[in-house]
């Protein structure tokens, strides 16, 4: 695999899962993996545009970890954003991966860089992460914890890929 410098997390509306993934990955970049991720950029977007900011459940969960996303503004996926990415990670096969591949089917190398987050992380089963929107706080947070574990594995995989690319 090629060196990964730009990573896009995306979900339906860029209000719950993808902003969480972006913020948590950037937090790891600023703390635990400062040197290893210095050349990697994390971003997020949504297939649709519903709201202007992240959902309170996402904001509150991140705040409990000392991560502030109060200035986060949602954005919608477009061709220009996708063209810049080395890795594109979604959360559901039917509603994210398949939809993106259909909508942007003419984008070069799209099939080689679009994955389910947990699949890319190396998980073998229960790869989809449902939308926590409208769920009670306990269930919402349970979903965010699954994403958190996936992001840790994804970040470590990116570091390994980039190290191996540097040594070739």
Q: Is residue 76 part of a domain?
A: yes
Does residue 127 contact residue 119 with C-beta atoms inside 8 Å? yes
Tokens 């070739």 map to which residue?
Answer: 168
Q: Please check the confidence at residue 168 and state whether its pLDDT lies above 70.
A: no
Residue 100: its pLDDT value, please?
94
Structural domains of the chain, count: 1
Residue 1 maps to a domain: no
- The model's pLDDT over 26-68, given as tens digits with 9 standing for 90+, comes to 999 999 999 999 999 999 999 998 899 999 999 999 999 999 9
How much is the average pLDDT of 117-145? 96
CB 91 within 8 A of CB 11: yes
The mean predicted confidence, pLDDT, of the chain is: 95
Q: Which CATH number do you get for residue 97?
A: 3.40.50.2300
Query: How big is the chain, counted in residues?
Result: 168
Q: For residue 34, what are the domain limits?
A: 6-166
Span 112-129, average pLDDT:
96
- Domain-embedded: residue 124: yes
């Amino acid at each position: 695999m090629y060196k990964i410098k730009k990573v896009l997390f995306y979900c339906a509306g860029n209000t719950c899962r993808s902003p969480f993934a972006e913020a948590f990955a950037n937090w790891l970049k600023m703390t635990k993996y400062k040197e290893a991720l210095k050349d990697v950029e994390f971003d997020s977007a949504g297939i649709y545009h519903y709201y202007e900011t992240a959902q309170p459940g996402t904001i509150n969960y991140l705040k409990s970890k000392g991560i502030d996303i109060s200035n986060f503004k949602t954005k919608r996926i477009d061709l220009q954003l996708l063209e810049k990415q080395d890795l594109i990670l979604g959360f559901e096969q039917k509603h994210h991966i398949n939809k993106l591949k259909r909508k942007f089917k003419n984008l070069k190398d799209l099939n080689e860089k679009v994955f389910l987050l947990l699949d890319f992380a190396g998980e073998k089963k229960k790869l989809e992460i449902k939308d926590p929107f409208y769920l009670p706080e306990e269930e919402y947070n349970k979903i965010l914890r699954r994403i958190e574990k996936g992001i840790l594995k994804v970040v470590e995989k990116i570091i390994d890929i980039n190290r191996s690319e540097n040594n070739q």
